[in-house]
Amino acid sequence: MRTRRLLAGAVALLAVVIAGCGSSSSEIGSGALVMASYQPYTGPDAAYGPEGTALCSFAAYEINSGGGVMGHKFQCEAFDSTGDPADALPVANRMLANTTNLIMVYGPTQSAQRAVEPVLNQEKIVHFPDSGDPAYDHQTSPYFIRNGPSDSLAGTAIAAYTANHAGYKHVAIAFTNEEAAQTVVPALKETFAKLGGTFTSEQTLAPGQTSYRTEISHILASHPEAIVTEMDPQTAATFFSEELELNGGELLPTITTSAALDSNWVGGVAKAIGPEQFMQKIVAVASNTPTEGPGYEEYLQALKKAPNNIPERENYAADPYAQLGYDGLVCGALAMLEANSLESEKWAPYVPKVINGEKGAIVVHTFPEGKKAIEAGKTVRWSGAAGLVTLNKYNNSSTPFTGYKWNGKGNGVASLEPTGGEVSSKELEEAGGA
Amino acid sequence: MRTSPGESPRRDGHLVVEDLSAGYKKTAIIRGVDVAVSKGEVVTVIGPNGAGKSTLLKSVMGLLEPMAGSISLGGEPIGGLPANKVAAKGVGYVPQVRDVFETLSVKENLEMGGYHLRRPEVQERIEEVLLAYPQLKGMLTRSAGKISGGERKMVAIGRVLMTRPSLVILDEPTAGLSPKLAQQMLEQYVARLTAREVAVLLVEQRAREALEISQYAYVLASGEVKLESAAASILDRDDLGQVFLGRTEGAA
Amino acid sequence: MELNLALGFGLVTASILALGAVGFTLQFGITNIFNLSFGQVMTVGMFAAYLINVQGGQSLWVGVLGGALAGAVVSGFLNKTVFMPFLRRGVSLDGIIIVSLAVGLVLENVMLAFAGPSFKAYNQPRTHSIHVLGMILTVQQLLIIGISVAALVGLHLLLRQTRLGKAMRATAANAGLARTSGIATDRVTMIAWCLSGALCGAAGVTFALNLATFDTTTGSSLLLVVIAAAVFGGVGQPYGAMLGALVIGLATEFAALVSPNLKEVIAFAILVVMLLVRPDGLIPSAATKETMGAR
């Protein structure tokens, strides 16, 4: 889902082959357990790195506040996957080889995923990718846990939201030509047509250009009811500010994906077009991400109290990537408790169980609460920063989607509020997704 | 002995080069060279290819830093000064190739020659140069890269005359010109420079023609002065052909 | 109608691109250094204007000036402390390209350390649109076109009419000969770096303004298209760079009429074809780039 500039993957493929000859997973010794934020800290995606460090610190705080797992405290380390697949793999190999007590990983992002995924699975490292690549929709590794939505599901959901909930049948679509954005498009088009919608204009944009005015004129001339879109923050800022310029200071109703919930996206675009139009016209369709409830309140506590030096931490208060990442890592720790083991082979299968909840599981919102329940011999279901999440048999999310807009309350630029339109799991299924 | 019988080596002049060694990187191409040029005379340096003639000129001009020895102009040491400072002392240098600013107009080339002059002076000097080279008058606005070889050399020489230099250094000014044009260039333009009380240091492949307009000459071979003498006495020698190649009986 | 619109939009892009391309080519023409840190110097300009405009509360047009000034200072500083010393040591011009790449990365990461990875945007009043000859342009865009035209006319007058400008052209054409004519080429080169840096900084600010937001990587991501415009016209040729900017600026907008996806591809395809047909660019340099012949 996260839209990014990709470099060619040929080198990466070669690197995968070479890395296949690596060693097997190492033993866990005494001392703190390390959660790695394997994210780009440099390059065009450099905003993801600090986000990864932040959510990991929140999770570590949460887990440690409950006394950790089997006498171990948790801590975070950062690894720069750079956003270039050719550089990402060597970093991953170093992370695997040199990190004592590496227990789980937040990442990889989409640009690094194809290079790194085989190595992580081979080394039996539980990881929580923040990528929406549909290539992994039917993956079978127990070490892969995607509690955020795949792009194909997002495409179905955004189409269903646009046609059924927002009620637009004639829309223009404008997606950047990057893989991460284009993976949303096929399911979107198919579902929207099935629901009786038509496209007045279809624009595939080259990202990072200084002007999209010709494309925008084209869209405006086709008189759509709304624009359905996914763009990276830079492209979106340029596109929307030029749309304002050409459309008399008004945006068309705009429906976009969860890429827009990224704090960097919100910050960049809101600065470019001003908060009024942003809040009035832009809706992001994302898997349910509450900004209230006990699990979310606990997340906010962790966000405030996590000790590490985290710049602008309030930006992550309403950031589904941070929320889902935090949830994933905490669920990992709870799974270790349920399995009563630090061997990933043993505890990895418990992660989906903690997320989905087995029959008779009690819903928990904090790590200490969960730990107590498990110690009392119960099974738990996590309802954390992002609320209840459902995984399918491929360890992919099948959580319902909601349309979100920004209301200007709360921290940072704006906080989220549901528009009232929820695309249920049933609706997703009927529309052909999941 | 390396001088012709009856003459002693010259040590006086406007330009005096003494015991000069110079080259590229660590390799000396010329070694222990003495040269002197007085105002109002043309001094020619001849010798085979690779003898170090251009190296000598570039060292004098400050384009190459001398490794040893001294260079003085009018009694003032100039050895080791950068080229723009040497130029400001009154030395004009016309290289063998790439002797004009090709992308600049003829007029702009002359203006660059008078880079240090004040604006009214520049105009005055341009008039002066045009008086000497009236052919240039009709082509002032043309690009210097797009005129004929002879005209181009006039621009190159005219450019260095802008400062009214006391020393003009010419590196093979007739290279690439037809024999007729070459002779005309030497006799009419180079020789005439002496009338301006200019010291002229000339390197030429057309040795005979060059000697005919010169007062004095040096024969350079393998980086050393093999022979120096009044130009006329070299021209008189029977073994002239050998001399041009730097093979003299008195060679050290 | 659509053509006219695209023409207007293309003119805006071309104006900004021209500032950058001329800046790039001016410095290359005189020093022969293919300076890959140019993109990051544009980013320096963007941040300088940000400090002035957002932190300092000054008008954006003061920011453009500030960006130009910052570009000039940084560019001159790099020449003095990095490029000149390397050249003196006899590092080849090919080697210097790698040095410039490294310098750019250092600049970018220093900015990242200070400014962080988040996007920045200028404070600018939203100006209304003006319809001219079927084109729609905002007052701000007209000002950008104006700034660009003014800068380029100024540069033209400098190069053609002033002693300094002619000395720059002379140094570009033949640095050795320029020295023997009494021109202090080191000084002229320094001025060229600063001037190129000023154009670079101004280009950065106007680029960022047109993009609406920027971060520490924005300048380097724009470098390719700047170089394309510079190379298109024959690198080292300011007028060629202006023409190259115009062609690429218009071509990308016209390309958007056909296939927006291929915008960038079309611009570079034109460039490649151009280089095949005329390897030296549209306006090839009359002077060869060799140094003065040895001995």
Q: Does B touch A (3+ CB pairs < 8 Å)?
A: no
Q: Do C210 and A217 touch (CB under 8 A)?
A: no
> Where residue B143 falls among pLDDT bands split at 50, 70, 90?
very high
- Best mutation site among B112, B141, B162, B222 for testing chain C: the one with the most C CBs within 10 Å? B112
Pairing of strands A33-39, A102-106: parallel
Would the pLDDT of C275 be above 60?
yes
Closest CA to A130 of A233, A3, A234, A298: A3
Q: What's the mean pLDDT in C90-105?
A: 92
| The predicted structure's pLDDT at residue B165 | 93
Q: What is the DSSP secondary structure assignment for residue B62, as one 8-state letter? A: T
Mutate to test the interface with A, among C112, C129, C140, C213 (most CBs of A within 10 A): C213
Q: Token pair of B65, please?
A: 């830093």
Mean pLDDT estimate for chain A: 87
The rounded distance, in Å, linking the Cα atoms of A50 and A172 is 34
Give the per-residue pLDDT at C287.
39
Residues C155-180, mean pLDDT to the nearest whole number: 93
Asked if pLDDT for residue B184 goes beyond 70, the answer is: yes
CB contact under 8 A, B108 and C293: no
Q: What number of C-beta contacts closer than 8 Å exist between A and C?
A: 123
Please state which CATH number belongs to domain A151-288+394-430. 3.40.50.2300
| Domains in chain C with CATH codes | 2-294 (1.10.3470)
- DSSP structure string for chain C: -HHHHHHHHHHHHHHHHHHHHHHHHHHHHHH----TTHHHHHHHHHHHHHIIIIIS---HHHHHHHHHHHHHHHHHHHIIIIIHHHHHTT--HHHHHHHHHHHHHHHHHHHHHHH-SS-B----PPPPEEEETTEEEEHHHHHHHHHHHHHHHHHHHHHHHSHHHHHHHHHHH-HHHHHHTT--HHHHHHHHHHHHHHHHHHHHHHHHHHHS-B-TTHHHHHHHHHHHHHHHT-TT-HHHHHHHHHHHHHHHHHHHHH-GGGHHHHHHHHHHHHHHH-TT-SS--SS----SPP-
| pLDDT beyond 90 at A57 | yes
In whole angstroms, give the CA distance from residue C222 to residue C245: 13
Domain A25-146+292-346+354-369 architecture: 3-Layer(aba) Sandwich (3.40)
Task: Give the closest-approach CA distance of A61 to chain C in angstroms.
Answer: 24
Tell me what pLDDT residue C3 has.
Answer: 82
The candidate with the shortest Cα–Cα distance to C181, out of C195, C173, C170, C169, is C170
pTM: 0.78
Contacts of C284 in chain B (CB under 8 A): none
C109 touches chain A (CB under 8 A): yes
ipTM of the complex: 0.86
Question: Could you give the CA distance from residue B16 to residue B35 in angstroms, rounded to a whole number?
Answer: 6
Q: Is C15 on the interface with A (CB under 8 A)?
A: no
More confident residue, C128 or A342: A342
Residue contact C163–B115, C-beta within 8 A? yes
Identify the pLDDT of residue B246.
66
Chains in contact with A, where contact means 3 or more Cβ–Cβ distances below 8 Å, are C
Q: Which comes out higher in pLDDT, residue A380 or A46?
A: A380
- In chain C, the percentage of residues whose pLDDT exceeds 90 is 57
Judge: B87–C179 Cβ closer than 8 Å, yes or no: yes
Average pLDDT of span A124-144: 94
C9, closest residue in chain A (CA to CA): A213
Please list every residue in chain A whose beta carbon sits closer than 8 Å to the beta carbon of residue C121: 237, 268, 271-272
Checking if the pLDDT of A413 tops 50, the result is no
The fraction of chain A above a pLDDT of 90, given in percent, is: 61
Contact residues on chain C for B29, CB-CB shorter than 8 A? 295
**H or E element that contains A200:** strand A198-205
How sure is the predictor about B7, in pLDDT bands with cuts at 50, 70 and 90?
A: low
Question: With 80 as the cut, is the pLDDT of residue B249 above it?
Answer: no
Please, which residues have CB within 8 angstroms of residue C90's CB and are 6 or more apart in sequence? none
CA distance C168 to chain B (A): 10
Give the CA angle between residues A417, A420, A426 to the nearest 5°.
120
* Closest to B213 (Cα-Cα) out of B49, B43, B54: B43
Nearest-CB residue to C182 (from B99, B104, B115): B115
Angstrom distance (rounded) from CA B62 to CA C132: 59
The model's confidence at residue B195, banded by pLDDT at 50, 70 and 90, is: confident
Residue C286 has pLDDT above 50, yes or no: no
What pLDDT, on a 0 to 100 scale, did the predictor assign at position B73? 95
Chain C residues 238-277 within an 8 A CB cutoff of chain A:
252-254, 256-257, 259-265
The whole-number pLDDT of residue C193 equals 96
Give the pLDDT band of residue A240 (cuts 50, 70, 90). Answer: very high
**Environment class of A160 (CB within 10 Å of its CB; exposed 0-12, middle 13-18, buried 19+):** buried
Taking an 8 Å cut-off on Cβ atoms, the answer to whether C285 and B83 are in contact is no
Chain A hits for C138, Cβ within 8 Å: 245
How many angstroms separate the Cα of B163 from the Cα of each of A77, B160, C177?
A: 70, 7, 15
Nearest CA to A171 out of A93, A230, A254, A109 is that of: A254
Query: pLDDT tens digits for B98-115?
Result: 999 999 999 999 999 999
Is the pLDDT at C1 greater than 60? The verdict is yes
What share of chain B has pLDDT > 90, as a percent?
A: 57
Residue C238 or B165, more confident: B165
Asked whether residue B144 carries a pLDDT value surpassing 80, the answer given is yes
Question: Is residue B225 predicted with pLDDT exceeding 60?
Answer: yes
pLDDT of residue B42: 95
Mean pLDDT of A328-332: 97
Contact (Cβ atoms closer than 8 angstroms) between residue B152 and residue B100: yes
CA A164 – CA A158 distance, rounded (Å)? 10
The Cα of C173 is separated from the nearest Cα of chain B by a number of Å equal to 6
The verdict on a CB contact (< 8 Å) between A267 and C211 is no
Q: What pLDDT band is residue C47 in, cutting at 50, 70 and 90?
A: very high
pLDDT, residue A432, reads: 58
What are the residue ranges spanned by the domains of chain A?
A: 25-146+292-346+354-369, 151-288+394-430
pLDDT at A248 over 90: no
The residue among B183, B13, B177, B168 whose CA lies nearest residue B91 is B168
Q: How far apart are CA C210 and CA A237, in angstroms?
A: 10
- Of A146-150, A187-191, C183-187, C259-263, minimum mean pLDDT range: C259-263
Instruction: Please state, in angstroms and rounded to a whole number, the distance separating the CA atoms of residues C185 and C171.
Output: 6
From its phi and psi, is residue A202 left (phi > 0), alpha (psi between -120 and 50) or beta? beta
B225 sits in which H/E element: strand B224-230
Bridge-based pairing state of the strands A282-287 and A362-364: unpaired
**A377 torsion bin: left (phi>0), alpha (psi -120 to 50), beta (else):** left
C78 versus C252: the higher-pLDDT residue is C78
The arithmetic mean of pLDDT across residues C15-20, rounded, is 94
Q: Does B158 touch chain C (CB under 8 A)?
A: no
- Report CB contact under 8 Å: A46, C217: yes
How does strand A226-230 pair with strand A254-256? parallel
The fraction of chain C above a pLDDT of 70, given in percent, is: 94
The bridge status of strand A401-406 relative to strand A416-423 is antiparallel
Q: Which residues of A touch C204 (CB under 8 A)?
A: none
**Strands C129-132 vs C135-138: parallel, antiparallel or unpaired:** antiparallel
Tens digits of residue pLDDT in C174-206: 999 999 999 999 999 999 999 999 999 999 999
Asked if A103 and A332 count as a contact pair (C-beta separation under 8 A), the reply is yes
Question: pLDDT tier at B191 (50, 70, 90 boundaries)?
Answer: confident
Instruction: Tell me the pLDDT tens digit for each residue of B52-64.
Output: 999 999 999 998 9
- Interface check for B181 against chain C (CB to CB < 8 A): the answer is no
Structure confidence by residue, pLDDT tens digits, C201-220? 999 999 999 898 999 999 99
Q: State the average pLDDT over residues A225-236.
A: 94
Is the pLDDT at C290 greater than 70? The verdict is no
Is pLDDT larger for residue B165 or for residue B240?
Answer: B165
Contact B100 C169 (CB under 8 A): no
The pLDDT confidence band at residue A17, using thresholds 50, 70 and 90, is very low
Question: Would you say residue A23 has pLDDT above 50?
Answer: no
Residue C291 has pLDDT above 70, yes or no: no
Q: Which residues of C touch B82 (CB under 8 A)?
A: 179
Residue in chain B closest to C283 (alpha carbons) equals B103
In angstroms, rounded to a whole number, what is the distance separating the alpha carbons of residues A354 and A333?
10
Which residues of chain C lie closer than 8 angstroms to A264, CB-CB?
117-119
Average pLDDT over residues A186-193: 92
Residue C98 · residue C89 · CB < 8 Å:
no
Nearest CB among C177, C184, C294 relative to B98 is that of C177
- Most C CBs within 10 Å, among B104, B118, B119, to test the C interface: B104
Does the pLDDT of residue A304 top 60, yes or no? yes
